[in-house]
Structures are given as structure tokens and as C-alpha cells.
Structure 1
Amino acid sequence: MSNGPAGHVARSTVRPNYETGRRGPIRTFLRSADGILIDSVYDPGAVVYGSAENPADAGRSPTRDLVFVVAHGFTGDVDRPHVRRVAGRLRAHGAVVTFSFRGHGRSGGRSTVGDKEVLDLAAAVEWARGLGHVRVATVGFSMGGSVVLRHAALHSGTVDAVVSVSAPARWYYRGTAPMRRLHWLVTRPEGRLVGRYGLRTRIHHRDWDPVPLSPAEAVPRIAPAPLLIVHGDRDGYFPLDHPRMLAEAAGDHGELWVEAGMGHAENAADDGLLSRIGRWAAVKAG
């Protein structure tokens, strides 16, 4: 692998289709700003041609317009069926970039559970821009939901819309049984072994130092980019005070959807919800 700046394409397994003027799927490794190789996939959006009813759409290239950059939850990766399903639904509204966070799947490094992962997302967003897309919407789930919030706050002006699904509002939450199990997985040597060999997730052994900006602290810095917060009323990890705290921090530039009967993250987000998220981003991203 060659060394390069953040977003550098280190390896590509599928070439752009220049003959048709549209890119086909591309799988590659990106390099984050701190040198971690990030397994990434680009899927072109479904082709939608202009019509007499919408002459302004005539001649628009879907591959150069809206792109979704999807940030998966903890223990996910780019090849997991639930991540591929999300990408498939969002493709109806634009192109999609998916990737595996550090320590997940075939990506390098070890997971810092939402801290340095901001650099992985930054590399994916830069790559999406480099492919010619003029509008970028980030969509994150659970841990990825916290990452899209912190990325938009710390990398102001790089995204046009942000969607955070099932995200925590604050760090070190242990108020539910699933979160207590997750803390055991992350903080205990035997837990990290389970993560590595049972969940294909390599977890860093070091504590955060310094503690990163929390999601609730990040939210006010996202404006003027539009923000959508989505949470299920049956989320077993984070109760409803988390999305409400995020929405309060967002003020007028944020929107909150509380989904009846929905559980946690990608597996709980049904196709109808994903389609609504896609339509929201297509409108709000400008």
C-alpha cells in the first residue's frame, strides 16, 4: 500500500466505467489522516432521467449529484447484510458510499468506539467529493450516529445534511443492560477477545485521552447544515432522553423523528423509514 494524504485511494478493485460516462461500483481502501486503511465501497445511484414535468432535472448526472455516506454501528462493517440493505434503499435517492470503521471488517487499526472514527468518516466524505458529487449527506447509526454528529461539528462545511439514527447524546451511559454488556466488551480484556474473535471487531485497549466532544456538545456546531435525529421508542440501548437532549441542543436547525415500535439502529430501521430518510436528505441537502 502506498502512503498518502487523508482520502487517498490506496487500492481499487473496480475501475470507473468511462465508456458510458458513469462510474460503476468501486471498492477501495482509503487512508485516514492518521494513516489507517479504511475498506470502502462506492455504489452509483439509480439513474433518474429528467422529464417534461421537471425540465430542470433534464441532463442532471446522478453520479455527480447527491451521495450518501453511511456510518455503521459498532461491530458492523461494509459487508454486513444490514449495512448493504441500508445502502440499497438509499441508492434510490442518490449514490452511496459505505465503509468499515477502523477495527471493523477488513479495515486496519483498532476501534476507539467513536473517537478517532471521525477521521475515517472524513476520508470517506473527501472521497465522495472527489468522485464529483456536489451534495453530501452523512447517515449514521448508533456509534456511527454519534460520529456523523461530531464529524459535522469538527469538519464544518464538508457536508450538506446530517442524519443521526439511534445515537447516544452523552458518553459512558450504562443505564440499560445492552449498554452494560457493551462496556464490558470494550473495557475488559476478555470482552475485547470476544469482540475480536466473535464479532470481528478489534477494540483498542486504551481509554480516551482526552475525552472527545460529546454528541450533545457537537450538535450546536453543525448549523447551518440541516440535521435529522431519528430514534425508536423501543430502543433497548438508549432511552428517549438521548434523542430529546440532542434535539434540544440542535434548536431550530434540527428535526426529531421518534419512530413508534422501532428498536435500535440499522436492523430496526425498516425500508419505509430508510426511504423517508433518503427523501428528506434529497430535499434538505439543497
Structure 2
Amino acid sequence: MDSPAETDSERLRVEPTPTSGRQTVLLTSDGVRIEAEHLPAANGSGRLAIVVAHGFTGSLERPAVRRAARQFSRYGAVVTFSFRGHGRSGGRSTVGDLEVLDLAAAVDWAHRLGYARVVTVGFSMGGSVVLRHAPGAGLAAVVAVSSPARWYYRGTAPMRRLHWVVTRPAGRLVSRFGLKTRIHPEDWDPVPVSPVESVPLIAPTPLLIVHGDRDAYFPLDHPLSLAAAAGEGGAELWIERGFGHAENAADPALLGRIGDWLTSRVPPA
């Protein structure tokens, strides 16, 4: 899917790379302007950067993403950004396809900021994106929270509603004005590689898959399929009791455990 020129992004300009906690605008390889923010590590030290990829209808300004960024800053610097079609970023959402280019721009920015080790943490749609981006990306670790394993899943009521939003003109209007998310109207062509097809290619990069037993969007066969595809020793799987879906349900305790896992797998350089 090609991303058309977006009037929503005309007011944004590409700014110099910031050296401390402030926002900038990144340019993806296909020319979409992406808002991003760098939050230094809370302790002021370390060479680890955690790039956070939000879920569908999220953005770097959403409280749940802000909460995750603050929690993760205890373990390293944090880069947050808004996927295309979300927040103040340009373009239109392709619901997990071209978003890989947005994540790549954020990871590249983290490297340009001077961080020797970069990890990605994705939630829901962002989880599928970090899994698809990871093979060959040179990351220090990858975490996928509440990620789908395969495309076109409609087995739950929330996913049937989401497909209506994405595929119907009326649904896209609801998304644009009600959810503040602009969706590309064209179908995928070609269909991108699915998360479960990408997972076997991530090793030897450490991979953590986190999923809740109360996830209303994707049942447990999704994380189990991802872990199985990773093969023996290819991924660590956490099935969290009482946990719902993605960043909105992730409390500080879970975020802290993810941060602990990252620092245990990625010691300071």
C-alpha cells in the first residue's frame, strides 16, 4: 500500500536530533513523517535504549504509553513514537504492514543518539510489528506483548469490531473522528509476512512473548503458536494471570518485570 501525501503532517517539520527528553519528527524510508520522543534513562547512565511500539489507536501521547515509557526509563533510555496515521504522525495506518518502516526509523534514531544496545517492546499491533521487524535488525532483545500470531483473525467480538472499523468506509470514519486514527482504505497487496512466520527468524536475539489469560482480542493459541514457532530455546513465554490486553492493561508491576528481563538479557555495555 502506498501512503498518500497527508495534509495532517504539513505542519510538522524534521527537526535536529534532540539530545535530551524532547520530541522530534522522523522520516521513514517511504517518506512518512513520524513523531517521536526520546526520554533519557532516569539514572542518567547506561547505553541501552528501549523503543516502545504502541497498539492500534495508540500514540506516544496516550497515558498508557507515557506510563510504560516512565517505567522503562528506570532501565534505560526510552524512545516512543506514533505509528503512521496515529497521533501527529503523517500517513495512514496499514494496521501492521508498513508500520515496520516506522519502527525501523525509531530504532535507527536510537542508534544515532549513541545507544550501543537497542531493544524493542511492542504491544498488540506494535507486538506484531516488532516481531516482523526483528529478523536481521541487529537488536539486543525483543519483547512482544499481546501480539497476534496470524492475520485476519475474527474469532472474538473485539476483533470482529476491529475488522469492521478497518474494512468499511463507515468504520474508517469512526476511526478517524472517534479514535483519532486514519486508516488506509486499500487492502494489503501483497499480504505481509505474518508474526508467526517471522518468529523463527529472530534467533539468536533474545525474545520474550507476554500474553494475558484474560485477553479479549487474541486467545492463548496466539502466544502458544508464536512460542512454538520460535523453537526450543528460541523464546521465553509468559502467560500472565488476570492480564487483559496490551499497554492499557499493563500495570507497573508487569512493566517492571519486563524491564528486569531486558536488563538481565542485555547487561550494560
Equivalent residues of 1:195, 1:202 under 8 A apart: yes
**1:36 and 2:32 equivalent?**
yes
Equivalent residues of 2:51, 2:106 under 8 A apart: yes
Q: State the distance in 2 between where 1:248 and 1:282 align.
A: 25
Which whole-Å deviations, capped at 9, do the CAs of 1:186-244 have from their partners, x for residues lacking one? 00000000000001100000000000000000000001100000000000000000000
Determine the structure 2 residue equivalent to 1:283.
Answer: 264
Which whole-Å deviations, capped at 9, do the CAs of 1:228-273 have from their partners, x for residues lacking one? 0000000000000000000001121200000000000011111001
Aligned ranges for residues 1-286 of structure 1 at < 5 Å? Answer: 10-12=14-16, 15-16=18-19, 24-47=20-43, 61-62=45-46, 65-153=47-135, 156-251=136-231, 252-286=233-267
Which whole-Å deviations, capped at 9, do the CAs of 1:22-47 have from their partners, x for residues lacking one? xx212100000000000000000011
> Which structure has the greater CA radius of gyration?
1
| SS in structure 2 at match of 1:139 | strand
Question: 1:15 Cα deviation (Å)?
Answer: 4.7
5+ residue gaps, structure 2, are 1-12
Q: CA RMSD in A?
A: 1.2
Question: 1:11 Cα deviation (Å)?
Answer: 1.4
- What TM-score, normalized to structure 1? 0.87
Equivalent residues of 1:136, 1:285 under 8 A apart: no
User: Measured at CA, do residues 15 and 231 of structure 1 come closer, stay the same or move farther in structure 2, by a change above 3 Å?
Assistant: closer
Which whole-Å deviations, capped at 9, do the CAs of 1:140-188 have from their partners, x for residues lacking one? 00000000000002xx142110000000000000000000000000000
Equivalent residues of 2:18, 2:38 under 8 A apart: no
Question: 1:76 Cα deviation (Å)?
Answer: 0.2
Paired-residue identity, %: 66
Aligned AA (2:29)? A
Aligned length: 254
5+ residue gaps, structure 1, are 1-8, 17-23, 49-60
Aligned AA (2:36)? S
Aligned AA (1:230)? V
Q: State the distance in 2 between where 1:165 and 1:34 align.
A: 27
Which whole-Å deviations, capped at 9, do the CAs of 1:52-108 have from their partners, x for residues lacking one? xxxxxxxxx42xx11100000000001000100000100000000000000001000
Q: State the distance in 2 between where 1:117 and 1:276 align.
A: 27
- What TM-score, normalized to structure 2? 0.92
Equivalent residues of 1:232, 1:263 under 8 A apart: yes
